[in-house]
Amino acid sequence: MNQKDVKARLEQAVAALTDEIVKFGRDIVRIETENPPGNNYRACAELVGDKLRAFGYQVEYVAVPPGRLPELAPHGQGLERVSVVGRLPGKEARPVLHFTGHMDVVPAGDGWTVPPYEGIVKDGKLYGRGACDQKSGIVAQVFVAEAIRRAGFRLLGTVESSATPDEETGGYAGVGYLVEKGYIAADKTDYVVITECLDADRVCIGHRGAAWMSIATKGKKSHGSMPDLGINALDKMIKLLHLVNEELKPRLRQRTTDLPVAPAACRKSTLAVTVINAGTKVNTVPDRCTAEIDRRLIPGETVEGAIEEIRELCRRLQAEDPDFQYEINRIMYADPTLVPTDTPLVKAFLASGEAVVGHVPEFVISPGTDDQRFVVQHAGIEQCIVYGPGALNLAHQTDEYVAIADILTAVKVMAHAAMELLGYEDVKRGDA
């Protein structure tokens, strides 16, 4: 079977599926799945599940038991956390290629010129919150096997496709839970593709790490007219943040990486103080001040190391000032992830990208974190990449959109790669 023929038949199949792909994209954007708190996950999972079932998949819904919601989704207001997992058995049980994408979106916010949840299509673009990040990725993954089937091929290995909640709040109740429960596991999953929006002509091989911390300084209340009778926790925090700004941040700026983190401005360690809270009343000295820090790590750094750097500043202040009392709490943390590039999975996506787009995809590393870490670090599956439609710089923006051409490109690239990785028969011709 020559490559040109495969390409032409897939092109044709995807062209014939385009209306259905766009309709499914509009339908999924119309389900508002803002997280926090995590709305309408069941409805969204069922939309995906129904489509997968129509395409021949065995479908299962995996809900986090209510008793574990406080631990896995602490800001989820007790709302249900459910994933859908579809399995399309091939002629052979292995290899297994698992696609996964997150259903949740960040809140739409104000300032949109199009309604964020109506699935508006205009000028070849699908608009809406989540259109790019990353419901279009779910759309693409759902249609991969169907495109292959309609092109007249039968996959030998098995395709799985899951849609999960909560990536935007850490992923513990989503991919984290699927990994914990063994739905994605090193002894039964060969390849994993996370369908986040990192541009349809790039292959993402990792992400920076994150250490989100809450730091509290503690003091003693007193009347604002007699401040020396108290210990002002806000003053203590100012001392700490001064050190953070004057010492730590310049040091972090020097810590750069040559790895292809995009945008290039993120090829270094970063730190941002993002929230601060203290005091209740103008005439009361505050006894507690909290500051939240968003620290991002380049490959080679660790969460532990990042926390230790803050702790070291605190210890120094404490040595000078016994009234300096503090505690550090973790909000969310993820070590950086980086996978090898000489694996069959990466090679298949490079070759498929070249066949479809016309040039070899560039490697990219996400500036944020994503569900890849659960698969690589927790499940121990090294062959895990992030590949999906949508421009990274449109994620979380007002008037978010995805180019429909990007979705179609992604379906084709994924389909080529699936055929390469899983093997196939030519059903139309009856040869292998």
Using the rule CB under 5 A, give the single segment among 32-40, 62-70, 88-96, 190-198 that binds Zn ion.
Answer: 190-198
Give whichever of 134 and 217 is closer to Zn ion, judged by the CB atom: 134
**x-or-dash string of contact with Zn ion, 195-234, rule CB under 5 A:** -x--------------------------------------
CB 181 within 8 Å of CB 378 = no
Smallest distance from the beta carbon of 369 to Zn ion, in angstroms? 10
If phi > 0 it is left, if psi is from -120 to 50 it is alpha, else beta; for residue 109 that is left
**x-or-dash string of contact with Zn ion, 7-46, rule CB under 5 A:** ----------------------------------------
Angle between the N-to-C axes of helices 3-30 and 136-150, in degrees from 0 to 180, rounded to the nearest 10:
140
Q: Which two tokens stand for residue 297?
A: 């790590």
Q: Which two tokens stand for residue 212?
A: 């989100």
Smallest distance from the beta carbon of 102 to Zn ion, in angstroms? 6
CA dist 209 and 400 (Å) reads 25
Count the alpha carbons within 13 Å of 336 in the hemisphere toward its beta carbon: 25
Smallest distance from the beta carbon of 111 to Zn ion, in angstroms? 20
Smallest distance from the beta carbon of 209 to Zn ion, in angstroms? 16
DSSP string, 16-28: HHHHHHHHHHHHH
| Residue from 145, 157, 100 nearest 384 by CA | 100
Using the rule CB under 5 A, give the single segment among 20-28, 193-201, 293-301, 341-349 that binds Zn ion.
Answer: 193-201
Smallest distance from the beta carbon of 271 to Zn ion, in angstroms? 23
DSSP-based helix, strand, coil % in the chain, nearest 5: 40, 25, 35
Give whichever of 287 and 371 is closer to Zn ion, judged by the CB atom: 371
Give whichever of 243 and 266 is closer to Zn ion, judged by the CB atom: 266
What residues from 122 to 181 belong to the interface with Zn ion (CB under 5 A)? Answer: 133-134
**x-or-dash string of contact with Zn ion, 388-427, rule CB under 5 A:** ----------------------------------------
Give whichever of 196 and 406 is closer to Zn ion, judged by the CB atom: 196
Give whichever of 208 and 416 is closer to Zn ion, judged by the CB atom: 208
CA dist 98 and 85 (Å) reads 10
CA dist 40 and 34 (Å) reads 8
Give whichever of 166 and 287 is closer to Zn ion, judged by the CB atom: 166
CA distances from 322 to 247, 308, 313, 314 (A): 21, 20, 14, 11
Smallest distance from the beta carbon of 207 to Zn ion, in angstroms? 11
CA distances from 149 to 153, 421, 430 (A): 5, 16, 14
Give whichever of 387 and 424 is closer to Zn ion, judged by the CB atom: 387
Give whichever of 302 and 398 is closer to Zn ion, judged by the CB atom: 398
Smallest distance from the beta carbon of 397 to Zn ion, in angstroms? 13
Smallest distance from the beta carbon of 277 to Zn ion, in angstroms? 28
CA dist 338 and 318 (Å) reads 37
Residues that bind Zn ion (CB under 5 A): 133-134, 196
